[in-house]
Amino acid sequence: MFYSAIAATGALALFLLAAKTAPLPQYVSLFNGKNLKGWVPVNTDPDTWKVKNGVLVCSGKPIGVMRSEKQYENFMLHIEWMHKEPGGNSGVFVWSGARPGKNRLPDGVEVQMLELDWVKLNTRNGVAPTDSYISGELFGVGGVKTVPDNPRGERSRGAEMRCFPRNQWNTYDVVAVDGVIKLAINGKFVNGIAKSTQRKGYLCLESEGAEIHFRNIKIMELPQGMTTPEQTAPAF
């Protein structure tokens, strides 16, 4: 018993020493402000994505995506975005297979980025869509299923309106771990999903009809989890 206690104490000491000496996770830039290094075109045109004055500019045309070079499982993503047109539409796809579907967009979990006039411009027969559309909705697409924190059907709406209108920068911080995603908008966590059926894949930036700018895109990879091959997007 005495020797067991000594052995356990020694093992704990070695663990704590390893934890102190192991390198801490760090953010790594996904956009260098000079070119598109680290990103792979999928189904947009050569002039859809350009770098101007250190900013990644997406023309919005045609509809499609470009993807990260590698897949990610558990991570924290920081991304800043700014719409330039009324009612602009875009987003970032997480855990995506990056292969275009029928509407030119891939599967994964979409973290939506809509300009605030989208609601007004999409009013039909005098009925305007709910403001939840423009508050950083999260939802599975392309067959990926999720459980929403704040349900609007199968989607999760932001619990609080925090997005800024066009020509103002917005900040999204996305924490993705073991099928759970939490989204902070401009400094506050307001949305999330759980039990995603796909938990490892590419990041995709979306072009969907309107000019949008991106900057300060960086990622911190976290320790791997229990993701199975069935929960992993196929390698492109």
One-character DSSP codes across 160-201: S-----TTS-EEEEEEEETTEEEEEESSSEEEEEE--S--BB
Q: Mean pLDDT, the chain, as a whole number?
A: 92
Fold of the domain spanning 25-231: Jelly Rolls (2.60.120)
51-104 per-position pLDDT tens digit: 999 999 999 999 999 999 999 999 999 999 999 999 999 999 999 999 999 899
Backbone phi and psi for residue 154, each to the nearest 5 degrees, phi listed first: -85, -5
| Closest among 170, 216, 205, 172 to 33, alpha carbons compared | 216
Could you tell me the CA-to-CA distances from 35 to 32, 48, 53, 55, 228 in Å, in that order? 7, 13, 11, 10, 34
Backbone phi and psi for residue 196, each to the nearest 5 degrees, phi listed first: -65, 135
Asked if residues 72 and 221 have their Cβ atoms less than 8 Å apart, the reply is yes
181-205 per-position pLDDT tens digit: 999 999 999 999 999 999 999 999 9
Residue 2 is predicted with a pLDDT of: 46
Domain assignments of the chain as residue spans, ordered by start? 25-231
110-120 per-position pLDDT tens digit: 999 999 998 88
Residue with tokens 């992993």: 232
pTM higher than the cut 0.95 = no
Q: Does the CA dihedral 31-36-37-40 come out positive or negative?
A: positive
